[in-house]
Each structure stands twice: as C-alpha cells, then as structure tokens.
A and B are shown apart, each in its own frame.
Chain A
Amino acid sequence: MTYHDKVLKVFGANRREVLVSVGAGGLTLGFSLAGKAQAQDDAVKPLNAYVSVAPNGTVTITAKNPEVGQGVKTMLPMLIAEELDVAWENVRIEQADNDPKAFGRQFAGGSMATPLHWDELRRVGAVARAMLIQAAATAWNCGPGDCTTDTGAVIHKASGKKRTYGSLALACANITPPDPKSLTLKDPKAYRILGKFTPQYDVAKIVNGEPLFGIDVRRPGMLYASIVKAPVFGAKVASADLDAARSVKGVKKAFVIEGDPNGLFPQGMTGQGLLPAVVVVADSWWAARKGRDRLNVKWADHPTAKLSTRGFDEQAAAFNAGTPQRNARNDGDVAAALKASARTVEAAYSYPFISHANLEPQNCTAEFRDGKLEIWAPTQNPEPGRQLTAKTLGLKPEDITIHMIRGGGGFGRRLANDYMVEAAWVAREVGAPVKLLWTREDDMAHDHYRPGGYHFFKGGVDADGALIALQDHFVSFTNNTEGQPSPSAGMAASEFPARFVPNVKYDVSMIPAQIPTGPLRAPGSNALSFVFQSFIDEMAHAASADPLAFQIRLLGTQDTVGEAPARYGAARMRGVLKAVGEMSGWASRGKLPKGEGMGVACYYSHQGYFAEVAHVAVDKDGAVKVRKVWVAADVGSQIINPAGALNQVQGSVLDGVSGALHQAITFENGATVQSNFTDYPLMRIAESFPVEVKFLKTDFPPTGLGEPALPPALPALTNAIFAATGKRIRSLPVTPDMLKA
C-alpha cells in the first residue's frame, strides 16, 4: 500500500492538514504540520511525516530524509515514537521516496535535521497519541482527560482499563486531529526513547552484508555502465575507439555523450549538468570497465588545461604583494592599532583543495520506460537532482521517481547529483535498467572539491595582552563568470573574531579557476577554523598568555554578540572552553614530557559550540602521534540519540585530523593529480586515538552533530604541535618535513 492509496483528506485548522488512510495494514496517519519557517509563507512546502499503526500494534514510521551515515533514519523516527509513547522494539522504519509534496524538503546537509525537526516531529507523535486517546475515550464514553497512555496502550486512569493502539487504530479515521500546537509535549524527564543509546535501525543489515547501498541495487535485466570524462574539467571528446570497446565480451554498447563543457559551473549548488563523456555499457561492470580501458579517448584542447596548484600559489603571493580586490569588513583603524601594538605578528596561512572520498564511489541506477524515469540514487539531495535530470533530459519532473538509497558516506558530495543525470541519460540511451558506477579514480578526478585558500594575517596585542588588531587578506577562488566565490569558497564578514576585536579588516581577492567545488562537512568552517584559530593561538603566545585563558578573554563578557543569523553565543563558547580545560587537565600540561604538547581551539558552526584540546607527541623524525582529543560541546538541551551523537563527534574529530595530516588534492595541467587512496591517504586505525566527549546541557533547542565537531579538531592539533615542538604549522597537510628536529 502506498501512502496515497485510499487517502481520505481531512482539513483541520489553518495550515494543518491531516491525512487519514485506512487500508489492509491498519491505520495510516499523515501529518502535515506547518513549521515556524513556513508560517509566513504558505507557498513553502509543509513538513510531513507519517505514522501507521497496525492491528497487531506494530508502528511504522517513515524516515523522510536520506541516510548517508549520519543516523537520521533512526533519529527522526525516535522523535515521533517518544511522543507517540510506543516501545521502540515495536517500531518499524520505512525509508521515504523523494516526495516533496508529502514531505517538504528532503535533504542531508548543514546538520539541519535536528533543528528543523525537533519540534515538528515530536508534535506528529503527540497528535497521533491524542487521536488514539480520543478513540479510547469515545469507546469508554469518558473524556480524553480521564485517559493516559503507556507504551502502546491507552489506559483509563480511574479503572485501569486498557486498549492497545492496534485495537484503536481504525477508530481514529473518524477523529478530527487536534491542532498540534495545542498539545503539551512530554517533560524530558519522562523520556523513554530520547536520550537512550539506540543502535541504527539498519544495523543488522549492515553487519550481515544485506543489500542496502546504492551500489547494491539490482533490477531485472539490469546492465552496468562505466563512464569516462576528461581529466581537464569539461574538455570535449575529440575521438574514441568505440569499436575496440565493443569487441570486449559482454559489452553491449559504447557511445559518446556530447554533454555541456560549461555545464559544470552553474550558479548555486543544485547539482551539475552533463559533461562530455564516453560510456561503455555491458552485462557486468567488469566487462564495461575492460571495454572502457580500450577506448583510447583523445580529449580536445581546453582553456583550463594550464591550471596548476603551483600557479595558484604564485597568484596568491602576487595578490599578497599587491592591493586586495575587495574589502569585506573594516572596523576601527587596523593600521593605527597595529602601530600602537606592543607585539605584532605577521603570518601567511594556506590549505589545499581536498576530496570527499566517500568510500562508496558515486553511482546510480536508472530505468527509463514509456517516457518515465525511475531512479535509485544514493543522494543527499534528491529533489534538485530530479529537477536537474528533468532539465537535462527534457522530461517533466513529475515523470521522474527517485528512490533514496542509503549512501556509503555523504560528507556533502552527494548534495550534487551529477551521477544521477549521467545514469538517467545512459538508461534512456540504452533502453534497459542501468547501474552506472564510477571507479575510485573517476571519483577522485571528478569531485566537487573543498576549495583551497590563502590567508595573509597581521595581528597586534597591546601591553596588557589584549588582541586589538587583526587583518586578513583572504585569497580564494572563483569558478564563475560573476566573480563570486566558487561554492564553499566564501567567508562571512562576521567570521570570528570579528566583533570581538576593536580593529578588524577583512580583504578578499579571487583567483579564477574552473575547478568544481562544493560543500564538504562543515563547509568553509573546516578550513577557516584552522587559519583563524591557529593565528589566535599565535597571538596568545605573542602575548605570553595561556592560550586557553586568551581564548576565554577574547570572548568578552557578553552572553551573545550580534543579531541572528550571525549571532554568536559568547557565553556558550566560554562554557565549552572552560569545560574542555577541566576535562583535559589543561592546567597541568606543563608536566608533559619533552616532545609532547597540548593545543586548544574552539569553533562555532552549524549552531553548535565546540571546544577541543589535543594532546600530541612528535618524534625526532617529525612523525605526529595524537594521544587523545577532548571535546566539550554545547548543542542544546537534549542529545536525542547518544549512540549516533557520540559516533558523529568522534568521527568528525578523526576526520578532521585525517585531513590535516594527510590530504591534499593538487592540480597539474588542469587536472587532478591524485587518483586513489594510495596517493590520497585516509587515516587508518593504527593512527586513531581516543576522543573523550562531554555534552554540556543548556536550555537551547537541540541542534545537529554531523559537522560542528570537525572544525576545531584541526587547529587543536596544529596548536598542540606548536606546544610540543615550537614549530608553527601554517599550511596543510602537516608533513614530517615541517617538524624534523
């Protein structure tokens, strides 16, 4: 039964719509609750979620958002189940398809699932519970106030009479749902599901190797495709030996996609068009790959074939020597303040492009039949993919169905949908279901990279050790004709410590480079944290101050600074800094042996306040061993699922350190140099370390954890390296050469 079978629509009070459908499986309640953000704008799609209760008491909850390892398929249904008051063991979770009419925006990004759904989805559960209570009250001829619930049953308080939800479900069809806003939600002290360590719903499938991921999708009669694109982004196909590919056993088709050489750089981040490519389709992926290896593709000349990382470095240095293109912020008088400073520091920082490197390479399965397209996609962002596919193939969006399949890692890469457009195009061309799978090398050569950047700092502290002047010339990248920063290559004018330092100047210049970029876990923040928090640490040392005390002092005495959306919770950040100092034994770091040190850093992103201390040891060959990282976090009043929350924080910290110690994407002759995990290493288990995490509970609404633990990990690491060695890391990745005794 689909959600729309036999749906009876009941329109309730303003902006509230409840769908009630009675089918063979029992009752299905569909709630459509207008959230705060939608209150002013009825045109915005409402948020939806669905609950169904079967006669045997099994509750099925639909998970609306794509799952890429952030745990949302488990966490969002927990919100509903808690207020519905059911036993978690009796909950079944179904993954929704892409269906914006029913579910509103469905995406995995920005650590937004918690803040967007915390209130609404609990109310979905509460509405269902209220209806079940009403159904029982009607049957018992009493008022709803005479009843309560206890894990899957309505109880008559006075008599102790009991009716299971399963037995009441059908009767709910006649009940008008209450206004969700009128319901009182549970006191957190009464929570039975929220706050409990809850393993991911799909955990058994994962450990048994059951089909689960995009790459595992199989359709009857399915063929397999391999796609070759130019190493130089957007170069056209000059020639390809299609017949050689076709001569490989199992190969069914080989063809050129003309594509759009400029389709790579549209505005926004809604995905990418189809690039010029050659495709080989076969009855197995290995045969397709073998065919591909015989193509001997020649690529046409392309204007970007001269781009190189060395060239970027030279351009950045030239910008530093000249006048910045643009001023983004100018508070006070930086030049005068620098002159008046007791100590000044000048430092040039840089960080490289890096790749998402999801362990599951990009892939997608598509089937084109009777003018309609069905897609199985491990995407973080299905609806923009549908729109882009429709546009590229000349179809109507409503003729495209997208099933959201678990992705083997997201990290922002799957917010783009280039693989989806390719699979759709190939499936139409071939007239059979096709699974298109990139090689690891394709994946690394055709990422939407985290952009690199350069920062040229000057800073000054006064005689009292206060930071009074900060100047940054940020040299970033632009890949569009408008001269706007490439996606995720910008910086807000409010970037910390602006507003906490009286004299601040932020200048920006931009290197033109047609390289695709995009959001990678904590976009912007994942690099800005390194440069700003390292430079603040430099200023602390210039002031001969304890770096942790210097950070707390810098944050001032106000609770908050600035207005939303750029409001900064200074008190919350001071709170996590103090906590991490206590957890880590910061005060006794002087007792560490020679060659070891501790570094501290903090960063606010995705509505979360994080402070971290790293303890490292550096040997005489310059090898860095991280002994431990402590994390103090303030993400509000409630950790919804400690199992997922802790995993995200620990993973984010290790991920950040992995990048800082190992990763760089470089370019030569317009193409990516790195090709696989051999030259783009990820952290391995022997290098991993314990991460101790403390969540401070505050009165703020809960916020997300997919990203904000990552940014401070990098500068905590590099500040610790300074404490251990006296060597300041100003460019990433950290190499032993930088640290040799």
Chain B
Amino acid sequence: MAYTLNVNGKALSADVDGDTPLLWVLRDTLGLVGTKYGCGVAACGACTVHVDGQPMRSCQIPVEAVGKSKISTIEGMSKNAVGKRVQAAWMELDVAQCGYCQAGQIMSATALLTQTPRPTDAQIDEAMNGNLCRCATYVRIRAAIKRASGQKEA
C-alpha cells in the first residue's frame, strides 16, 4: 500500500506494508539511513525521530499510524535552529566515538532543548535516559547539551 509521508518538510511516498516500522521505511525505502537500528524494542533510542516535534522511537511506529504527522529526522536537523546548535556543540566537543548512537542522541537533545532551553542535570538525565551509548560518551553528551543551551559545561 502506498503511503505519503511528510519527512523533513517534503512529501515522500513509500509503497510498503502498513505494519512496516517507520524506521525501516526511512532507511530502506526512502534511503534516509541516518536513523539507526539498535534494538527494535524501544530500548536503545538509536532510531529516535521527531513526530510533530516529539521524540519517538521509529522502530515502534508502524507506518500506517503516521498519517499526516510531521516527521523530522537527523538529516533535517541542520535546518532546525536548535538542532543546528546541538550539532555544532557535538562537533566542537567531539562527542562521538563510533558515532552510531549519536543521531538518536542529537534528536533527543534537540527535542529537550526545544522544550526546555536551559535544562538541569536531572532534566538531561530524564530526557536522555532512553538513548544508549555503547561507547559511553555520556560525559561529553551532557557537556554538549549544556554548551548548546549556553550553560557552563561542568
């Protein structure tokens, strides 16, 4: 069945089964491979995208449930004012090791800072706890969120 999705402000169509998770539609059908697969069970956050501005795990969203919602992915973050700041902080502090989790981290961090421009440590913990980093770059993730929000880093 053909679905028209609003992804990063563009209408894109995908002819897939309705139960296909948004993650795999983005990656395999639409070629937007920045969104990553890590667990498939909402336990790692590597697949985080924004659905109408909310951070969601795209591995858990069947494409038939997306409807007219606006989807933003990591590929669209450089056009998002907050996303761009987050990306810049991530680059300056060289947050990544392998980098595999970082698209999801940046999506969660951007959603956090959009809602809470100057988050406390506890708010960072809460917003980011669904995003695993196997390389354990958490010290720098926290510092980069502080930097992007104009707060002291330590």
Contacts and interface: CB of A to CB of B under 8 A. Distances in A.
8 contacts: A206-B90, A207-B87, A207-B96, A207-B102, A209-B34, A285-B24, A409-B134, A690-B139
Nearest to B28: A284
A654 B136 contact: yes
Contacts of A686: 125-126, 128-129
Contacts of A411: 134
Given A199-B91, A208-B78, A688 B96 contact: no
Interface in A326-384: 357-361
Given A209-B75, A648-B97, A285 B134 contact: no
B129 A682 contact: no
Contacts of B17: 249-250, 286-287, 290
Contacts of A651: 97, 135-137
B106 interface: yes
B137 A440 contact: no
Contacts of B24: 284-286
A359 B33 contact: no
Which has the most chain B C-beta neighbours within 10 Å: A359, A409, A411? A359
A556 interface: no
Interface string B95-130: 011111111001000000000000000001110111
B147 interface: no
B96 A200 contact: yes
A202 B78 CA distance: 16
Interface in A284-336: 284-287, 290
Given A654-B136, A686-B129, A360 B36 contact: yes
B39 interface: yes
B98 A406 contact: yes
A89 to B, nearest CB: 14
Nearest to A691: B139
A409 B44 CA distance: 14
Interface string B1-38: 00000000000000011001100100111011111111
Given A686-B129, A688-B136, A71 B141 contact: no
Given A208-B74, A361-B37, A202 B99 contact: yes
B149 interface: no
Interface residues of A, dominant DSSP? loop
B109 to A, nearest CB: 11
A27 B75 CA distance: 36
Closest 9 CB pairs of A and B: A209-B34, A69-B98, A408-B100, A209-B74, A654-B136, A688-B138, A686-B125, A199-B94, A206-B99
B70 interface: no
B104 to A, nearest CB: 9
Contact of A439 (B40, B43, B91, B97): B40
Interface residues of B, dominant DSSP? loop
A190 B21 CA distance: 55
Interface stretch (A128-136, A213-221, A423-431, A483-491): A213-221
A224 interface: yes
Contact of A690 (B31, B38, B77, B154): B154
B46 interface: yes
A200 B43 CA distance: 27
Interface size class of A (residues with CB under 8 A): 35 or more
Contacts of A56: none
A24 interface: no
B94 A359 contact: no
Contacts of B131: 684-685
A359 B46 contact: yes
Interface in A154-181: none
B81 interface: no
Nearest to A678: B43
A691 to B, nearest CB: 6
Contacts of B126: 686
Interface of B: 16-17, 20-21, 24, 27-29, 31-41, 43-44, 46, 73-75, 77-78, 87, 90-92, 94, 96-103, 106, 124-126, 128-142, 154
Nearest to B33: A216
A658 interface: yes
Which has the most chain A C-beta neighbours within 10 Å: B28, B43, B74, B125? B28
Interface string A27-52: 00000000000000000000000000
Contacts of B78: 208
A46 B44 CA distance: 42
B91 A286 contact: no
A357 B78 CA distance: 30
Given A69-B99, A208-B74, A658 B37 contact: no
Contact of A215 (B33, B73, B75, B97): B33
A204 interface: yes
A575 interface: no
Which has the most chain A C-beta neighbours within 10 Å: B16, B96, B128, B142? B96
Interface string A403-414: 000111111000
A685 B20 contact: no
A407 B131 CA distance: 19
A335 to B, nearest CB: 44
Contacts of B34: 208-211
Contacts of A199: 91-92, 94
Contact of B73 (A209, A437, A676): A209
Contact of A647 (B91, B92, B137): B137
Nearest to A282: B28
A357 B134 contact: yes
A714 interface: no
Contacts of A658: 136
Nearest to B44: A677
A206 B102 contact: yes
Nearest to A644: B94
Which has the most chain A C-beta neighbours within 10 Å: B29, B98, B138? B98
A218 B92 contact: no
A359 B134 contact: yes
Contact of B97 (A70, A213, A290): A70
A607 interface: no
Contacts of A682: 132, 134
A360 B100 contact: yes
A566 interface: no
Which has the most chain A C-beta neighbours within 10 Å: B77, B91, B131? B91
Given A218-B33, A249-B17, A360-B100, A650 B139 contact: yes
A422 interface: no
B140 to A, nearest CB: 7
B117 to A, nearest CB: 19
A647 B97 contact: yes
Contact of A203 (B27, B96, B133): B96
A360 B27 CA distance: 14
Contact of A197 (B43, B94, B102): B94
Contacts of B16: 284, 286
A120 interface: no
A522 to B, nearest CB: 14
Given A286-B21, A678-B41, A685-B125, A409 B100 contact: yes
A718 B58 CA distance: 38
Given A203-B91, A213-B99, A677-B39, 4 more contacts: A218-B31, A249-B17, A359-B36, A684-B128
Contacts of B37: 215, 361, 437
A445 to B, nearest CB: 14
A68 interface: yes
